[in-house]
């Protein structure tokens, strides 16, 4: 499965566009069943860099790259949750951001 389709790429806000939003939308969810890591993508630069929320060793907001996600293979292979519908980050976190 391709992690990003052209249609999905078009749905993202550009990097920095949601920084003042109270509750930005998570456009895509990626997960690695073998490791338990999950990436919630909110913004995308149109090329390689996402900004969003990562749940792994620690839970934090930050940048992650499409290249890195696609490079993971074997038990660490990343997949996009295909039936994901964009939703506010507060619904993902179960709490308000501010």
Q: What is the pLDDT of residues 31-90, one digit of tens each?
A: 998 889 999 999 999 999 999 999 998 999 999 999 999 998 777 799 999 999 999 999
Under the banding of pLDDT at 50, 70 and 90, the label for residue 1 is: low
CA nearest to 2, candidates 78, 76, 73: 78
Look at residue 42 and tell me if it is in a domain: yes
What end-to-end distance do the CA atoms of the chain give, in Å?
36
**pTM of this prediction?**
0.91
Which residues span the domain enclosing 27? 6-15+23-93
Calculated CA dihedral for residues 20, 25, 28, 30, nearest 10 degrees: 70
pLDDT confidence of residue 73: 78
* Mean pLDDT, residues 7-24 taken together: 94
Is there a contact between 43 and 28 (Cβ–Cβ < 8 Å)?
no
Range 18-41 average pLDDT? 94
Within 10 angstroms of residue 35's Cβ, the number of other Cβ atoms is 14
What's the domain count of the chain?
1
pLDDT, position 64: 97
- Within-domain flag for 1: no
- DSSP per residue over 14-50, as a string? PTTTTTT-SS-EE-EEEEETTTTEEEEEEEE-SSSEE
Domain membership of residue 98 (yes or no) is no
């Amino acid at each position: 499965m391709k992690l990003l389709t052209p249609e999905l790429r078009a749905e993202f806000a550009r990097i920095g566009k949601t920084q003042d939003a109270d509750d930005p939308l998570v456009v895509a969810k990626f997960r690695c069943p073998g490791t338990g890591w999950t990436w919630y993508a909110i913004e995308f630069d149109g090329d390689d860099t996402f900004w969003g929320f990562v749940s792994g060793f620690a839970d934090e907001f930050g940048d992650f790259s499409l290249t890195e996600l696609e490079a993971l293979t074997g038990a660490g292979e990343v997949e996009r949750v295909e039936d994901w519908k964009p939703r506010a980050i507060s619904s993902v976190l179960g709490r308000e951001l501010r």
